[in-house]
Amino acid sequence: HRLLLENAEQLVLVCGRREPFLRRDGAAGLAVLRAASLVVGLDGCIKAVGQADVIRNQFSEATFERIIDCSGKCVLPGLVDAHTHPVWAGDRVHEFAMKLAGASYMEIHQAGGGIHFTVEHTRKATEDELFTTFQHRLERMLRAGSTLVECKSGYGLNLETELKMLRVIERAKKSMDIGISSTYCGAHAVPKGKTATEATDDIINNHLPKLKELQLSGEIHVNNIDVFCEKGVFDLDSTRRILQAGKDIGLQINFHGDELHPMKSAELGAELGARAISHLEEVTDEGIVAMARAKCAAVLLPTTAYMLRLKQPQARKMLEEGVIVALGSDFNPNAYCFSMPMVMHLACVNMKMSMNEALAAATINAAYALGKSDTHGSLEVGKQGDLLIINSSRWEHLIYQFGGHEALINYVIVKGKVVYENERCETMSSY
């Protein structure tokens, strides 16, 4: 066997009965075992989870490549970041000052800043330059506990640059340990010199057929299609056309909706069979009900509402209506956050989620939003051995410590292989 984690103070399974998602914090909330051990096989999948003494007897004759004593520590599933924009050149640190002085997102966007500024720099960057910075960002995400990340294109807005970004994501999929779900987001903004209708036609007639061709030849494997459905960007009709065309070539629908204005994006997503919709700060009550009924996940992004001083998404109302709530960092030049522990903390404080709900939202529900909850998002036999060991006897420290993950996350493990080991934890007694 590849790995034995023994005698953890707490082992947080998240869900213990093959649930594809957890809807809300109830008595059946998070499954936590005490004094527990876990075994990962050579195929990278979990072989056994249970009480330490039972596992010790069961595997008394087995050999392991690595044994980690987790006494006084907690084991949790690897975190899943359900929404990021990590491939780009040209940071927007100068815009942060404008935002702090009161400029709105759309004012900056209309003045040629925002997405347009990043597009200009990303178009000029070489594939190698983009790959190097992307790699560093993914490594930082991994050190903060993310083992599966959704990664979008969308700073090209022309076919050539969008494909360049998708090739960069493909390279990382093949060469890095972190899991990646890739998203084509060519409809992230309307390119300069085009109307929204022209941009929509270009995507449907040129981008998507080319993508289908590259998918069939095995050069690129894209999982999701995304559109920024917003007033002054892509309206409901254009959004519908693009998402349907993406679905027709086999992509999962996972898009930006109802962020700055109520657009009825949630209703549209439910109707089209979307897997997930992100943002939803301005979602209608009808939209919430429709998403709950359609089992369409809501990917909430507490960093964005915090950075742009927007109204917070109505997490509580969504949870009470039975929506599957997931979380994402929205890492991008506007919201420069790599850390899902910080995202969970903000979700609890600003969106009034419980710690159980936030952890489920950053594991099993985020995996569900990417169509991967059958293999990721919880510690169950048969699932991929992606996990974290934290230097604390209570798992809640991962959320309670705001920005403390650098000294708290002891190991990050992907497919039973230690991909990050934090020596700092060995010199410190458990928190």
Buried b (16+ CB within 10 A) or exposed e, 111-148: eebbbbbbbeebbebeeeebbebbbebbbebbbbbbbb
**Assigned domain for 165 exists:** yes
* Per-residue pLDDT at 79: 98
Q: Are residues 74 and 86 in the same domain?
A: no
Domain that includes residue 402, residue range? 3-78+378-421
Beta-carbon neighbour count of residue 167 at 10 Å? 17
Can you tell me the distance from the alpha carbon of 365 to that of 356, in angstroms, rounded to the nearest whole number?
12
Q: Are residues 85 and 72 in the same domain?
A: no
**Assigned domain for 430 exists:** no
Q: Are residues 149 and 163 in the same domain?
A: yes
What number is the average pLDDT over the span 58-74? 97
Model confidence over 333-348: pLDDT tens digits? 999 999 999 999 999 9
Structure-token pair, residue 49: 């989870």
Residue 174 burial (CB < 10 Å; 0-12/13-18/19+)?
exposed
Starting at the edge strand found earlier in the chain, the sheet holding 297-300 runs 79-81, 146-152, 179-187, 224-227, 252-257, 276-279, 297-300, 325-327
- Name the domain boundary from 352, 370, 388: 370
Model confidence over 253-304: pLDDT tens digits? 999 999 999 999 999 999 999 999 999 999 999 999 999 999 999 999 999 9
Which three-class secondary structure string do you get for 399-421? HHCCCCHHHHEEEEEECCEEEEE
Can you tell me the distance from the alpha carbon of 401 to that of 223, in angstroms, rounded to the nearest whole number?
34
What is the model's pTM? 0.97
Q: Are residues 43 and 188 in the same domain?
A: no
Q: Are residues 252 and 267 in the same domain?
A: yes
**Helix or strand (DSSP H, E) at 278:** strand 276-279
Number of domains in the chain: 2
**Assigned domain for 429 exists:** no
Model confidence over 361-401: pLDDT tens digits? 999 999 999 999 999 999 999 999 999 999 999 999 999 99
Can you tell me the distance from the alpha carbon of 427 to that of 154, in angstroms, rounded to the nearest whole number?
43
**Assigned domain for 207 exists:** yes
Can you tell me the distance from the alpha carbon of 105 to that of 126, in angstroms, rounded to the nearest whole number?
28
**Assigned domain for 98 exists:** yes
Detail the DSSP E strand segments found in 208-259. Answer: 224-227, 252-257
Q: Does the pLDDT at position 25 exceed 70?
A: no
Model confidence over 222-261: pLDDT tens digits? 999 999 999 999 999 999 999 999 999 999 999 999 999 9
Q: Are residues 175 and 34 in the same domain?
A: no
**Assigned domain for 326 exists:** yes
Buried b (16+ CB within 10 A) or exposed e, 395-422: bebbbbbeebbeebbbbbbbbbbbbbeb
Can you tell me the distance from the alpha carbon of 66 to that of 2, in angstroms, rounded to the nearest whole number?
6
User: pLDDT band at residue 113, thresholds of 50, 70 and 90?
Assistant: confident
Detail the DSSP E strand segments found in 113-251. Answer: 146-152, 179-187, 224-227
Q: Are residues 280 and 300 in the same domain?
A: yes
The CATH number covering residue 252 comes to: 3.20.20.140
- Name the domain boundary from 327, 348, 370: 370
Q: Are residues 60 and 119 in the same domain?
A: no
User: pLDDT band at residue 16, thresholds of 50, 70 and 90?
Assistant: confident
Which three-class secondary structure string do you get for 38-86? EEECCCCEEEEEEEHHHHHHHCCCCCCCEEEECCCCEEEECEEECCECC
Q: Are residues 354 and 407 in the same domain?
A: no
**Assigned domain for 49 exists:** yes
The CATH number covering residue 52 comes to: 2.30.40.10
**Residue 111 to residues 62, 106, 140, 232, 241: CA-CA distances in angstroms?**
64, 8, 32, 13, 28
Q: Are residues 276 and 388 in the same domain?
A: no
Phi and psi, residue 272, nearest 5°? -85, -5
**Assigned domain for 147 exists:** yes
Can you tell me the distance from the alpha carbon of 251 to that of 254, in angstroms, rounded to the nearest whole number?
9
Can you tell me the distance from the alpha carbon of 22 to that of 376, in angstroms, rounded to the nearest whole number?
14
* Per-residue pLDDT at 27: 44
pLDDT above 90 covers a percentage of the chain that reads 87
Binning the chain into helix, strand and coil, the percentages to the nearest 5 are 40, 25, 40
Q: Are residues 87 and 70 in the same domain?
A: no
* Per-residue pLDDT at 431: 65
- Name the domain boundary from 370, 386, 412: 370
Nearest CA among 44, 34, 40, 33 for reference residue 68? 40
* Per-residue pLDDT at 424: 86
Q: Does the pLDDT at position 430 exceed 80?
A: no
Please check whether residue 347 is in contact with residue 358, taking contact to mean a CB–CB distance below 8 angstroms. Answer: yes
Can you tell me the distance from the alpha carbon of 250 to that of 348, in angstroms, rounded to the nearest whole number?
35
Residue 227 burial (CB < 10 Å; 0-12/13-18/19+)?
buried
Q: Are residues 84 and 211 in the same domain?
A: yes
